[in-house]
Amino acid sequence: MDDLKDLREIAYFGIAFAQAGEKSLADKKFSLGDAANFWEPISMLGEAVDGGKDAYTQWIGATDDQKARLIDDCKEKFDLENDGIEEFFESCMDSTLSLVKTFQLGKKAFTSAE
């Protein structure tokens, strides 16, 4: 059972969309012929939107280990030709996880101080 199924579907949609965008802009312009590159992310959109209602609850209920595995899984799946952009997005994923941990620690510390 995948406890983070909805989060994973949203992340995979975002990854597929970014990859389609990069492929479409490889020639430095976007044209109608590039629409085929977006077939995969468009086909994933329904699941991503449906999962949106439970994604927050899944994230809050996930352990740090589950969150780290999800981030690692996304990084493995996220492959762009432009390594700089890929590294930027992977850094954003790491930073997001770090910020969530920091806020959780702060919430716990300030709640116990009352």
Locate the domains of the chain by residue range: 5-112
For the chain, how big is the Rg over CA atoms in Å?
17
pLDDT at 114: 65
Can you tell me the distance from the alpha carbon of 56 to that of 62, in angstroms, rounded to the nearest whole number? 10
Q: Are 42 and 28 in contact (CB under 8 A)?
A: no
In angstroms, the first-to-last Cα distance of the chain is 38
- What per-residue string of b and e applies to 40-72 under the rule 16 or more CB within 10 Å gives b? ebeebeebbeebeeebeebbeebeeebbeebbe
pLDDT at 7: 86
23-57 residue pLDDT tens: 888 888 888 889 999 999 999 988 888 877 788 88
